[in-house]
Amino acid sequence: MRISGIDFPSIMMGTSVCDYKGNRRSLLKKVEESILFSIKSGKLGYDTARDYGNESILGKIFSSLIKKGEISREDLFITTKVGNNQQRLGDIRHELELSLKALRLDYLDLWLLHWPLPGHYLDNWKQMCEIYQSGMVKAIGIANCRERHILEMEKANVVLPHVIQIEYHPFRTVPRMVQMCKERNIQLEAYSANCLMLPFVRHNDILTSLAKKYSRTVGQIIMRWHVQQGVIPIFSSFNKAHIAENINIFDFELEESDMQKIFNLNIDYKFHPESLNCFSY
C-alpha cells in the first residue's frame, strides 16, 4: 500500500526485546536470525522504539546484513518512536539524530510519537512536521492516541498524522476511530494484532471454526482479517515458525460474512491501559 508517497509493507514485525531473558550476545544472535528469516520469507516492516532499548541492537543487525549483501537499505522499512522522556526534553530533532545514529541509518521510513503526552505532544508534533519536510523521515505518525487527540490536532490547525498505531484486534475494533482515520486518509496500524493469542483468543469458538473452515490457524485468520480491511498488523515473535505463520496469509481470502463474524467479537477489550505508560493520559 502507498502512504504519503511511499510504499508501506502490508505486515510489520515488532522487535521489542524488553521481556527477553538472556545475555546480549545470545539476544543479538536470536534477533538477527529471526530478522534474516523474515526478510527471506517476505517483505516486512520492522517496528521499534527508543523505550524498547534495542535501537543499537537493530542497527548492528541491519548494518551487518547490508554489508553481507543479504539486504539493501531499500528493502527495509524501519519505524521507531519518540518516548515520553524524550518528549519532555523537547528537542525532537536531536532525538531523531540519536535514533538514526543508534540504528545506523540515514533516514527513517516511519517516525512516531509513542504517546500523545499531555502538555507536550502538540508542540513536539509541530517539530516533527518540520523535520518531515527535510526528508530525514518519510512518514510521521502517533501511537496510542484516541479520537480526541485527532480533534485537538485539527483544532490546532496542524498537519494530521500519516499513520496512527493503536491496540487493535478482533476484540477491540474501535469503529469510531477507524471511521475517523478513513475520513482523514490516515493509515491504521495495529499493535498486538492477535491480542497476544491469549487463551480466550486461541479458543474462541468463532475463530477456531473459521480456522477449520479455511484450513488455517487462528493466528492466520486474525492476520488475514487485518490485511483484508486495509489495516497493517504488527506481530511480535522471534520464533521462525510463528513468523512464517504470520506472513503466509496471502493465498486465501475471508468471505465478507466471515469478516463480519470477526468484527462482531468486539468487546472493547484492552489489555494495555494507557495510564500504565502515560501519566494523566
- CA-closest candidate to residue 134, choices 102, 100, 90: 100
pTM for the complete prediction?
0.95
| pLDDT lower than 70: segments of the chain | 18-22, 275, 280
How high is the mean pLDDT of the chain?
93
What is the structure's pLDDT at 21? 67
Q: Catalytic residue among 52, 121, 168, 191, which?
A: 52
What 3 state SS string does 31-80 have? HHHHHHHHHHHCCCEEECCHHHCCHHHHHHHHHHHHHCCCCCHHHCCEEE
The answer to whether residue 52 is catalytic is: yes
Q: Which residues are annotated as a binding site for substrate?
A: 114
What is the structure's pLDDT at 20? 67
Cβ(170)–Cβ(211) under 8 Å? no
Q: Which residues are annotated as a binding site?
A: 114
Amino acid letter, residue 188: L
- CA-closest candidate to residue 161, choices 143, 135, 178: 143
User: Residues 6 or more apart from 112 whose CB is under 8 A from it?
Assistant: 49, 79, 80, 81, 82, 140, 141, 142, 143, 163, 165
Tens digits of per-residue pLDDT, 103-147?
999 999 999 999 999 999 999 999 999 999 999 999 999 999 999
